[in-house]
Chain A
């Protein structure tokens, strides 16, 4: 049986996996799980991922949750080009460092920004106090600066001269907020213009 990827492209980590699999020519069957329809809560999907979250993967009888684990599984199984997850000890550690940091940093900020700016007020009709939104956008701004100043620095990509898993995970995260908030394309995320070049 061909590899199955259970994805909803509304979700940041699902997009990272989709891009990675497509870019590397990994054959897979796309199983769309529509989060807005609650399809992730079905008994059938629980057989694939008891955590009831996307992305999830099924490779014959082997099922796997967590986007980082899935990306690493695909990397190892399909022997993708080295730059995605370098063999070099220190370069690989840099990718691991980013993949660990982002869970409670950029992921958190982008998700909160989307929900506080768009999902609660527009889709759910629930008011978000201005100070809550302000705090969320401030947190996002700080995390973006860490992304630039600690990870990107003067390099072409987050961990070196070539694209890696870290870049995929980061870019799909940032698109979450930009994609849902048309005004942010004009003014930049959090109301700033394009990131300032700082010394």
Chain B
């Protein structure tokens, strides 16, 4: 990482060119960076507006890291619907979301982010709905029907604080902390997280999937994309969540078939190789990442 790259610590910022309050609440899709205390300087974000200051002729750009669950959902949606875009890869584990250039796209320094001419947009749900509307994706992705749409909205809202949280923690506690960061996780903490994941999966089956082919009805929607990409996170860490749940496994197979096996594998190639990532050797980066990710340990 270059000298200018800022790593948000949660305790204090070390950036020679100044302090950026946006980074303090940065939560990249793989990480949930909680605040642990310390002094937070009053720095205005007014220089970083939501609209990029220069006119872009690049067409649609999607800033993604396929290590991230919501990035995969956006990637699959765009590819499946033949939406032309330029992929801008932002590698979270190398801190690339902390660059000044990326802050111009998303002052919250999160992926996924979208840039469409001068219009920039964050939040995967907002991005999926924007793409769906602008490119007139087939109705089943986000149905016009009042009640069918409400079911998709209900899932998209619920998942933020339910499946997202436990899938991220399960993957990091089981794999990334011990293998990538060299920090063992207490067995009882991992057991508690996996139990919570199990309860979420039960809710997914009982409340959303029920006897339907897909989460919100008889056709695949953006809800299924968000869910499947989420579940692949603990799968990448070796959690056998589908083996013990035949109903969920049957749904997974339908989703993969609807998406297309090649596209599904392409979107998940990066995260499925995460288990083979060598331990992080850079001691500085390792300590900074460990500190900033402590909020995933509960």
Query: A residues within 8 Å of B by Cβ?
Result: 50-51, 62, 64-69, 72-73, 76-77, 89-90, 92-94, 96-97, 99-101, 103-105, 108, 131, 134-135, 138-139, 141-143, 145-146, 149-150, 153, 196, 198-199
- Among B40, B45, B161, B207, which residue has its beta carbon within 8 angstroms of that of A103? B161
B25 close to A146 (CB less than 8 A)? yes
Name the B residues within 8 Å of A141 (CB-CB).
Answer: 40
- A-B contact list, 11 entries, CB within 8 Å: A72-B149, A73-B149, A92-B129, A96-B125, A96-B129, A100-B124, A138-B35, A139-B35, A142-B25, A149-B21, A149-B44
- Among B35, B119, B134, B160, which residue has its beta carbon within 8 angstroms of that of A104? B160
B49 close to A77 (CB less than 8 A)? no
Chain B: interface residue total (CB-CB under 8 A):
47
User: Provided the pairs A89-B130, A138-B35, A139-B34 are in contact, do residues A100 and B158 lie with their beta carbons within 8 angstroms?
Assistant: no
One digit per residue, 1 when the CB lies within 8 angstroms of any chain A CB and 0 when it does not, for chain B 13-49 equals 0000000011011010000101111101010111011
User: Top 9 nearest A-B pairs by Cβ distance?
Assistant: A149-B45, A96-B126, A69-B153, A100-B123, A103-B160, A66-B157, A69-B154, A97-B126, A139-B35
The answer to whether the Cβ of B191 comes within 8 Å of any Cβ in the partner chain is no
Q: Which of B127-177 contact A (CB under 8 A)?
A: 129-130, 133-134, 146-147, 149-150, 153-154, 156-158, 160-161, 164
Docked complex Cα distance between A76 and B147 (Å): 10
Docked complex Cα distance between A105 and B146 (Å): 28
B37 close to A198 (CB less than 8 A)? no
Shortest Cβ distance from residue A68 to the other chain B in the assembled complex, whole angstroms: 4
Q: Is the interface of A mostly helix, strand, loop or mixed?
A: helix
Closest Cβ neighbor of A143 among chain B residues: B25
A150 close to B153 (CB less than 8 A)? no
Docked complex Cα distance between A96 and B127 (Å): 9
Docked complex Cα distance between A187 and B125 (Å): 36
A62 close to B147 (CB less than 8 A)? yes
B203 close to A196 (CB less than 8 A)? no
Name the B residues within 8 Å of A66 (CB-CB).
Answer: 153-154, 157-158
Closest Cβ neighbor of A53 among chain B residues: B158
